[in-house]
Chains A and B, each alone.
Chain A
Amino acid sequence: MSDSTTVANNALAEEHHEHPSYQRHHFETVDQQFDATNFAMWLFLLTEIMFFGGLFVAYMIMRNWYYPAFVEGSHQLSIFWGTANTAVLIISSFTMAMSVWSAEVRRKGLLLLFLCLTFLFGLVFLGIKGIEWHEKWEKFHVPGLRYSEQAFLNPASDPEVYKEYHDQPLSPDMAQKTQEYFFLYFAMTGMHALHMLIGVSILVFMIIRAKHGAYTSGHVTFVENFGLYWHFVDIIWIYLFALLYLISRH
């Protein structure tokens, strides 16, 4: 039994000896292998578009139904932290694109540098998100766990937001609907942050592998496809920033 396996392996090894080691046997060329995995990654991203798409559509409809509640809920978000996080994420997308380039031109030192920078910016993003979530907790804006409609029944009770927007008091049932806003806020930013968390975890794995030269010997598929994932998560945030933070300011 073990003999025949060895023979079979040898036969295979001889038949494919001219191929690079990272080419799987069921692909004819490295290009074909790259295209197939790249295509598969895009199909995965399409399912992700539909997944986040459901949340975006829910947000659109709820915002139309409970417009005043969504506007005043949105006024609780900090433009400063939101803008900072958008910039951080865009820069991390840039460093990720540079990681792909470093792998393509086989520069191991640069690849490690850019992967580490991407990892770092990913952590900064999550840190800022944490600061924002913590503020929501402090101000009783976490629906289901710690919620108060005080800031919407009596906007003047929240002087920092009031001096910027001069919101009118909401009726009691509309004030209750601000919970819908914050529910969607936490669902959308939470799901996005989960994707970031998965991303930075994979980055740790990639940094270790890159250190051993795994991506700088011509096999860039993994870095390229992870880059697609990272940029996708960036795109989701670009829309979250516009929808949650910006569109309700006037």
Chain B
Amino acid sequence: MSEQHQQHEQEHHIVSPFTYVIILLALLTGTALTVLASYFDLGEWHIAHGVTIFWNPVAALAIASTKMILVVLFFMHVKYSRRLTKLTVASGFFMFLVLISMTLTDYMSRAWGRW
């Protein structure tokens, strides 16, 4: 099975223009949605003392990330790529998350208990 699967994976997959058009429309819809959402106050959620989630940035970043995933999967062909490419892309985003989370843990813990 694995031999055949490997063979299949190596073939160059041509993504059809129809797929590209669908993705284009999805991306433009996402852009319209995110601009529309920025005109409304989506409110906030107080989880605990000093910890609040504001929904406007969450919505904007969620839509941006959805658009990013569509571009990566279809325009950049990652959906049709070999596992090595998928692993490479995933590790790139993972490193970026490490960069963000480690830096923020530092900044959040510097004045721990002194606010």
Chain A positions within 8 Å of B, measured between CB atoms, are 31, 34-35, 38-39, 42-43, 45-46, 49-50, 53-54, 56-57, 60-61, 64, 79, 83, 86-87, 90-91, 93-94, 96-98, 101, 104-105, 224, 227-228, 231-232, 234-235, 238-239, 241-243, 245-247, 249-250
The B interface is mostly helix, strand or loop, or mixed, namely helix
Given contacts A42-B85, A97-B15, contact A83 B31 (CB under 8 A): yes
Given contacts A93-B71, A231-B76, contact A43 B41 (CB under 8 A): no
Tell me if A39 and B76 are in contact (CB < 8 A).
no
Distance between A125 CB and nearest chain B CB, rounded to angstroms: 14
Given contacts A45-B92, A227-B75, A238-B64, contact A87 B34 (CB under 8 A): no
Q: How far is the CA of A228 from the CA of B88 in the complex (A)?
A: 14
Interface residues on B, range: 35 or more
Q: Which residues of B contact A243 (CB under 8 A)?
A: 60-61
Rank and list the top 7 A-B pairs by shortest CB-CB distance, nearest first. A247-B57, A46-B92, A94-B24, A242-B64, A246-B38, A242-B60, A250-B41
The A interface is mostly helix, strand or loop, or mixed, namely helix
Q: List 7 A-B contacts (CB under 8 A).
A: A104-B12, A105-B14, A231-B75, A234-B71, A242-B63, A243-B61, A247-B61
Tell me if B24 and A231 are in contact (CB < 8 A).
no
The answer to whether the Cβ of B53 comes within 8 Å of any Cβ in the partner chain is: no
Tell me if B38 and A250 are in contact (CB < 8 A).
yes
Which residue of chain A has the shortest Cβ distance to B56 in the bound complex? A250
Tell me if A101 and B56 are in contact (CB < 8 A).
no
Chain B positions within 8 Å of A, measured between CB atoms, are 10-12, 14-17, 20-21, 23-24, 27-28, 31, 34-35, 37-42, 56-57, 60-61, 63-64, 67-68, 71-72, 74-77, 81-82, 84-85, 88-89, 91-93, 95-96, 99-100, 103-104, 107
When the two chains form the complex, which single residue of B40, B82, B91 contacts A250, counting CB atoms closer than 8 Å? B40
Q: Which residues of A contact B68 (CB under 8 A)?
A: 235, 238-239
Q: Which residues of B contact A249 (CB under 8 A)?
A: 38-39, 56
Q: How far is the CA of A224 from the CA of B80 in the complex (A)?
A: 13
Tell me if A235 and B12 are in contact (CB < 8 A).
no
Q: How far is the CA of A87 from the CA of B29 in the complex (A)?
A: 10
Tell me if A79 and B38 are in contact (CB < 8 A).
yes
Q: Which residues of A contact B56 (CB under 8 A)?
A: 246-247, 249-250
Q: How far is the CA of A101 from the CA of B42 in the complex (A)?
A: 41
Q: How far is the CA of A54 from the CA of B28 in the complex (A)?
A: 28
Q: How far is the CA of A224 from the CA of B34 in the complex (A)?
A: 29
Q: How far is the CA of A137 from the CA of B71 in the complex (A)?
A: 34
Q: Which residues of B contact A83 (CB under 8 A)?
A: 31, 35
Q: How far is the CA of A232 from the CA of B76 in the complex (A)?
A: 9
When the two chains form the complex, which single residue of B41, B96, B100 contacts A60, counting CB atoms closer than 8 Å? B100
When the two chains form the complex, which single residue of B11, B64, B103 contacts A61, counting CB atoms closer than 8 Å? B103
Q: Which residues of A contact B41 (CB under 8 A)?
A: 250
Q: How far is the CA of A42 from the CA of B76 in the complex (A)?
A: 10
Q: Which residues of B contact A46 (CB under 8 A)?
A: 88, 91-92, 95
Q: Which residues of B contact A53 (CB under 8 A)?
A: 96, 99-100
When the two chains form the complex, which single residue of A49, A224, A242 contacts B61, counting CB atoms closer than 8 Å? A242
Given contacts A231-B71, A235-B68, contact A101 B14 (CB under 8 A): yes
Distance between B30 CB and nearest chain A CB, rounded to angstroms: 9
Tell me if A50 and B95 are in contact (CB < 8 A).
yes
Given contacts A45-B92, A61-B107, A87-B31, contact A94 B38 (CB under 8 A): no
